[in-house]
Amino acid sequence: MIINNGGNLSKEYFIAYLSLIINSKQCTLEEAKQLTFERLFNMDEKALGKVTYSHFNSAFEELKKNG
């Protein structure tokens, strides 16, 4: 997946992305978070900027809370 680094990815984007990973890979939320961090952020929280990383964490926490 190619991501334009010029914009910030929204929390809603990450909710959808994490949900897609969970459903397609039949994995846990934790596993989906790790896969997303590896694939999109290349294991570097600064790779896509602070705002995008914050939205990623917010999406994870919301999905975790709503279980």
Q: pLDDT tens-digit profile of 18-28?
A: 999 999 999 99
What is the three-class DSSP state of 45? coil
Indicate if the alpha-carbon torsion angle 54, 56, 62, 67 is positive or negative: negative
Instruction: Report the pLDDT averaged over residues 48-63.
Output: 96
CB 11 within 8 A of CB 58: yes
pLDDT of residue 67: 78
CB 63 within 8 A of CB 18: yes
Tell me the pLDDT of the chain averaged across its residues: 92
Diameter of the chain measured on Cα atoms: 32
pLDDT of residue 5: 56
